[in-house]
Structure 1
């Protein structure tokens, strides 16, 4: 029986989408049941048992998807409105219960259960940032007291809030993103889940070099999957297939839809002042995501809670609430420009005899180094051979010059690359990276793999936003777009 089921499932997947017979079956099944008018029943006392009695609660029909929507309001006497968007999980708006009292003392607070979560069970649709943005737009229009609102999102809710703000930038006065999930390219994220921390002083350098090689091999295998067949994309091809199989499994539906959204190609140039709050020990949404977001958001400020994880408003409530209230009042400014690099210093590494670099250099040369890290480095030239390099908050290169990378691996975050990068049998994982120069800015001379998140190319004639996994032979990155 199991083999028959698998065979039937393979046949279903092999059928062309144009036939769309699943849609026909779905419509016929629905037509057999009487169509009752959709109404939103008031939340019961049992449903509200975990909520404080002093707040206002209602369940209304959200016209964007004709689905019940649970809405909590507090601080109704205040003029300025703060809207809270929760992440994945069964608790939904309950995740904010330790935050709402602090906010309600100063603001009108609106917290919702997104459709499919908590007390907003109802219609089944693709729970994507795009669809949820329509719900948020209706909520803001319906419940705000005046003017623009302050939008706060956590985890998946932060990703949804970011998407909404990119589509409706004029509707938001202040944006706060808390441990945003789903922003990095899926391959970059999977690599993060499988990576260990080898930068430990208590491990001998020889052991750390071996572990770095092991992790590098594992990353190479994972990167290959990023450009191969992805079965989750089957659910993107047909909405009826998704709804009939996982539609009512809310967390899976929403998680898959979040993975399908390419946040790298959105425009962030018009976004309002944004504050990013992150738990440094977050294993769900890595801190690297925060640095990458800070790179592309023009007016942003990052607050890191050192010993917090993915849900800082629950584990570090007092610290979180203080940061949130300060963020809602403060504006963000553009990051200062880097000073002119006139350094004549030359940095060298051979077999990890120097592994950490910071400050300004005229040139850095890496040869057979597996443990190298750049922190706030500004170098005019970089030459790499048989090395593994992690770069954070740096500027690499110079206009009119080449950066040579041979049989090496670079992971870069919140970094500017200037001039032209030439790759020979190398691999790159870029998150929050901007290329500046004359096109082409990146040239593969042989066998190059790239994983890109929130990456940009800026030349005198174009500005391109890109993300995803790429395999290059002898060609430029621009030619592969």
Structure 2
């Protein structure tokens, strides 16, 4: 064999460089290492009973995990490929059956059952975004056509797609996220599940203030558990323990692995143009997640279906399909810069005599206000004492300014904080928040709790991505990292 290889090499050296067949041989040699699909157990008529007959179906083996994978293809005549990734649940790729016909008119569609789900039952491993991303990369390499590749994920599948796009840059031209689950820090998510809507006009203000205090106490207890012992860490620390106990319980295996992934630390600057589609009434993945994602994704556009819940393609199929097709043909643009704040207006609240703020202010002062909301607020200065504030799409502070938050609670989403924020015995829940200024940008003067999701610190010397729960004594946030 060695002599034969030597003779082949000698023969190749003697051939003129311009010979076309030499290039053909080189391409074939390079292709020897490519992993081709090997078929697994054939699909039965019973297994395909719920699927339309006109599509193409295969069950192949994924080489990276030696696991069977169910693959559906439609619109084979088209060059641009759309890959669909489902979420948790027993239906797997069936969740897309109301979507595929509309897509197949313009695109080559590839829908899979993730390993462990649907018709891809087989090998047991940690069903994490990292491992599933390897599977998706193999699928794209194996099934893509000559045109562009667009990746569409729903719920857990959206989170996996987001992780894939961050870890495999340049492999897809567009990303579509539908009601992505598992993105927020787990403490922020649990707090969402326990929170009621107290901003109801038919409730007296005194009642709403009491309810706000009750919810505040509940959140405080939940935040304490976020920094305490977490029994799920037992499974994440030892894969053998996980596989022996919950390995074959696919939904639990995948859900725990999703919770363990810190999406806040991913690099979002290199992601492709992203379209975000969300059901406004989603109780599983709150709309707050969409706004936080939009904050960190440099090229993104958000579409909200007002009456839809967590699975908009089923509850509102026509609206969803129209929106998805439009999104796949759209080009997301960078977020516009906010106008310079030159306002001299001062906003004040004492015991909730003014609860809603919007627009530009030079300064806002809150004292004993439990029902305050900021929507599209731009203020150069914020002073809070004994208050509870919920703000979104806002810019707080200014270069060289220091804001004071004392014995207060802030929930902020899609917000920029400029300058420095001092906290004294306060609690803050930030999702899609960016600190700009000179380090330190956040200083705790006494006992501060922070729950951070998709949060960043950007100074002249550093750019840091943050997520998780923190308890600060007399120290800066940077010193706790």
Provide the TM-score with structure 2 as the length reference.
0.92
Whether contact under 8 Å (2:407, 2:424) holds in the other structure is yes
**2:283 aligns to what?**
283
1: CA distance, partners of 2:130 / 2:109: 23
Aligned pairs for 1:223-372 (under 5 A) are 223-372=223-372
Partners of 1:198 and 1:211 within 8 A in 2: yes
| Matching of residues 46-195 of structure 1 within 5 Å | 46-195=46-195
Distance 2:40 2:204 in 1: 63
Q: Structure 2 unaligned runs (5+)?
A: 1-37
Q: What is the count of residue pairs matched by the alignment? A: 444
The offset of 1:39, in angstroms, is 6.3
Alignment match, 2:213: 213
C-alpha distance in structure 2 between counterparts of 1:382 and 1:219, whole Å: 23
Q: Is the 8 A contact 2:39 2:59 kept in 1?
A: no
1:5-49: CA deviation from partner (whole Å, max 9, x where unpaired): xxxxxxxxxxxxxxxxxxxxxxxxxxxxxxxxx961111000000
Instruction: Tell me, in whole angstroms, the C-alpha distance in 1 between the residues paired with 2:238 and 2:208.
Output: 47
Query: Does residue 1:439 correspond to 2:439, yes or no?
Result: yes
Distance 2:327 2:271 in 1: 15
Matched position secondary structure for 1:344: coil
Offset of residue 64 of structure 1 = 1.1
What's the counterpart of residue 377 of structure 1? 377
Whether the 8 Å CA contact 2:79–2:148 is kept in 1: the answer is no
**Alignment check: 8 A CA contact 2:176 2:274 kept:** yes
How far apart, CA to CA, are the structure 1 residues paired with 2:148 and 2:452? 33
Aligned partners of 1:148 and 1:171 also within 8 Å: no
- Residue 148 (structure 1) shift: 3.7
Q: Distance in 1 between matches of 2:45 and 2:277?
A: 34
How many angstroms apart in 1 are the aligned matches of 2:198 and 2:419?
32
Q: CA deviation at 1:251?
A: 0.1
Match of 2:478 in 1: 478
Structure 1 CA distance for aligned equivalents of residues 328 and 233 of structure 2:
38
The alpha carbon displacement at 1:168 in A equals 1.1
- The 2-side partners of 1:443 and 1:148 are apart by 47
TM-score by length of 1: 0.92
2:116 counterpart SS class: coil
Cα separation, partners in 2 of 1:39 and 1:240, compared to 1, 3 Å: farther
CA distance in 2 between partners of 1:209 and 1:269 (Å): 41
Deviation at 1:147, TM superposition (A): 4.5
Aligned Cα RMSD in Å?
0.7
Name the CA distance, whole Å, in 2 between partners of 1:100 and 1:346: 53
Kept in 2, the 8 Å contact 1:397–1:403? The answer is yes
Match of 1:461 in 2: 461
